[in-house]
Amino acid sequence: MSIGAPKDISQGRRFFQEPRHPRHRLYEALRAYFLDSRPPKEVARAFGYSVGYFHLLCHHFRRDPNPVFFVSPRPGPRSQPKKSAARNLIIRLRKQNYSVYEISRTLKERDRPLSPTAVREVLREEGFAPLPRRLDEERPDYPRPTVEPVADVREFSLAPRTFATRCGGLFLFVPDLVRLDLAQLASRAHFPGSKMIPAAEAWRACLALKLWSVERKSHIMALVADEGLALFAGLNAIPKKSYLSEYSSRIDTTQITRLLAGWHEQLDGPPRQQLVPGKSFNLDFHSVPYYGEDPVVERHYVSARSRSQPSILVFLAQDADGHAFCYSNADLRKGEEANEVLQFVKFWKQVRGEYPRELVFDSRLTTYAKLVRLDDLSISFITLRRRSPRLLREIMLLPRSAWRVIELDVPARKYRTPRVYEQTVRLQGRNFRQFFVEDLGHDKPTILLTNQRQVSAKQLVTRYAQRMLIENALSDAVRFFHLDALSSTVGLKVDFDMALLVIASGLYRLLAQRMRGYSDAQARKIFLDLIDMPANVQITDKQVQVNFHRRAHLPILLDSGLMKQPTPVPWWNRLSLRLTSQ
């Protein structure tokens, strides 16, 4: 127990009179009682014990055959058996110019494991100096990291060959990429490119990361040697992490908006009706946590942690029927949240030529003034009101006869018969319908606000209950598309990743609608069952054949129709893609 040094006489006296360590305090108290014969009440008061507890300590002391107050230090080992047993071999290997890491590896192979630090200590004791830095040719022969080729479209080859790929499932997306002509999105959005990696190839490489659920750009290094991933992007090799991390730094807000607009323009005909019918939208905010320290990053509420912390605020819109994300914006600052719903309305008007028909969101998304603006544009909305003390008091005072019971047309829902009370409220000079809803599965009443005057209460409550679909989609985006892994102090970098998420989630939904039984499945389930599948790729003069290995869910792919028709791929010089199975 350290009390500092040097000490004067008063400090030394205080050390014994006011002991700080529990065992030292017990020793001094028992010594004062048994040796100095001081009364137990006086001893207990002096050393901070109650009288009853001090009598108990004395009782235990008298019956303890070996009381311990002072711990004697145990001597440490006099020798180091592992080092001593390997010392001669370490010296012999060093004389052969082995480094500490090579010596440690050799000792492990001879069942005498010793860490490089321990080897370095032995060599220092024996007087060996560190080895000078050597060339690779001077080092002993052992497996070293391979140097992968630099991504360059000019080196891209479709010469006949056969290879195995871990990313065989990625080729299931190629028919939709060709059918929707997504290769033109990069040129329409004016994305940056170079002679080595043009814009279209860079765009496909970034999209491949999202489709393959790569959590961070640095994790692409585990796949740089995969020829299948490079073939999907139309390159000789997939770009490395430095290029992929830097690429989003060259893209601005206008280009991202063009990318999303081009995505919706390509979704024409049946794909549009399947993926984004555009009848109703679920809107929400999501905070992407940032775990560093930067004064530029603002604090937002992170629901997963139930607290406010530095994060990037993201706005997302999801089509209620197609269950696919259709809009995102991560370039938001505090004070701009309330206006984002109008920005989405403006975007949709530019893309589709009409305003959204219905918007569903919660109470924190916008303000009453913006609700009036939506009503002026004849856009229907359903939202929540915050449960203020005044509104809760009003609900409590309502007589039971004022409520009426409705039955929701949602068979799988547990709470299907809520009680509803309807009234008209005036907010910002405009009349809206307001509903108090109880027995909906929440501890407190739900307060709905809408401008839809001809729709029944049953339809409105049912529609808002279905808004939970966006919560499920956000959960899937966090788990599979790694939404919360987009850590950056620059909102625009996160904004580009969010635009990729919109397109990747749309491609997953299009693929799911082809697969029997997977139309409502989340992207994570689709990836595990159907996409995460190795394959053998054979390139010939006329086609690229992707032969999938046998898997339990392979019959679902066979039944989807994707393997019946070859698909000419523009970025493969019009070679056809043929999907087969073993």
Give Rg (Cα) of the chain. Answer: 35
pLDDT at 518 over 80: yes
Residues 30 and 106 in one domain: no
Residues 227 and 296 in one domain: yes
Domain total for the chain?
5
What's residue 238's pLDDT? 87
What is the residue-wise DSSP string for 20-82? -SHHHHHHHHHHHHHTS---HHHHHHHTT--HHHHHHHHHHHHH-SS---SPPPPP--S--HH
Select from 254, 265, 302 the least CA-distant residue to 496: 254
Cα 150 → chain centroid: 29
User: Does 69 reside within a domain?
Assistant: no
Residues 174 and 287 in one domain: yes
**Alpha-helix runs per DSSP H in 218-335:** 227-233, 241-247, 253-266, 270-275
User: Does 317 reside within a domain?
Assistant: yes
Answer with the one of 446, 466, 486 that is the final residue of a domain: 466
What's residue 206's pLDDT? 86
Residues 330 and 370 in one domain: no
Residues 351 and 374 in one domain: no
User: Does 30 reside within a domain?
Assistant: yes
User: Does 525 reside within a domain?
Assistant: no
pLDDT band at 293 (very low <50, low <70, confident <90, very high): confident
Question: What is the distance between the alpha carbons of residues 475 and 150, in angstroms, rounded to a whole number?
Answer: 36
Residues 203 and 352 in one domain: yes
User: Does 459 reside within a domain?
Assistant: yes
What's residue 358's pLDDT? 92
Sign of the Cα torsion 393, 398, 399, 401 reads: negative
Q: What is the mean pLDDT of residues 437-465?
A: 87
Question: What is the distance between the alpha carbons of residues 417 and 436, in angstroms, rounded to a whole number?
Answer: 14
pLDDT band at 482 (very low <50, low <70, confident <90, very high): low
Question: What is the distance between the alpha carbons of residues 252 and 132, in angstroms, rounded to a whole number?
Answer: 49
Residues 235 and 380 in one domain: no
User: Does 406 reside within a domain?
Assistant: yes
What's residue 362's pLDDT? 86
What's residue 390's pLDDT? 92
Domain with 335, as residue range(s), is: 154-356+475-520
CA distances from 332 to 83, 235, 366, 367, 496 (A): 60, 35, 14, 16, 13
Question: What is the distance between the alpha carbons of residues 564 and 559, in angstroms, rounded to a whole number?
Answer: 9
pLDDT at 245 over 80: no
User: Does 512 reside within a domain?
Assistant: yes
What's residue 11's pLDDT? 66
CA distances from 206 to 230, 231, 404 (A): 12, 14, 53
pTM, 2 dp:
0.74
3-state secondary structure of 402: helix
Residues 175 and 297 in one domain: yes
What's residue 267's pLDDT? 82
Q: pLDDT tens-digit profile of 163-204?
A: 999 989 999 999 999 988 887 888 888 888 889 999 999 989
Residues 461 and 439 in one domain: yes
pLDDT band at 300 (very low <50, low <70, confident <90, very high): confident
Residues 51 and 174 in one domain: no
Q: Buried b / exposed e across 158-183, counting CB within 10 Å, b at 16+? A: eeeeeeebbbbbbbbbbbbbbebebb
Residues 447 and 368 in one domain: yes
Question: What is the distance between the alpha carbons of residues 247 and 497, in angstroms, rounded to a whole number?
Answer: 11
Q: What is the mean pLDDT of residues 340-365?
A: 91
Q: pLDDT tens-digit profile of 389-419?
A: 999 999 999 998 899 988 887 777 777 888 9
pLDDT at 57 over 60: yes
Least confident of 90-99, 141-150, 258-267, 330-339: 141-150
The residues, ordered by sequence, that sit 6+ positions from 77 with a Cβ below 8 Å of its Cβ are none
What's residue 421's pLDDT? 93
User: Does 73 reside within a domain?
Assistant: no
Average pLDDT over the chain, rounded to whole?
85
Residues 184 and 314 in one domain: yes
pLDDT at 1 over 50: no
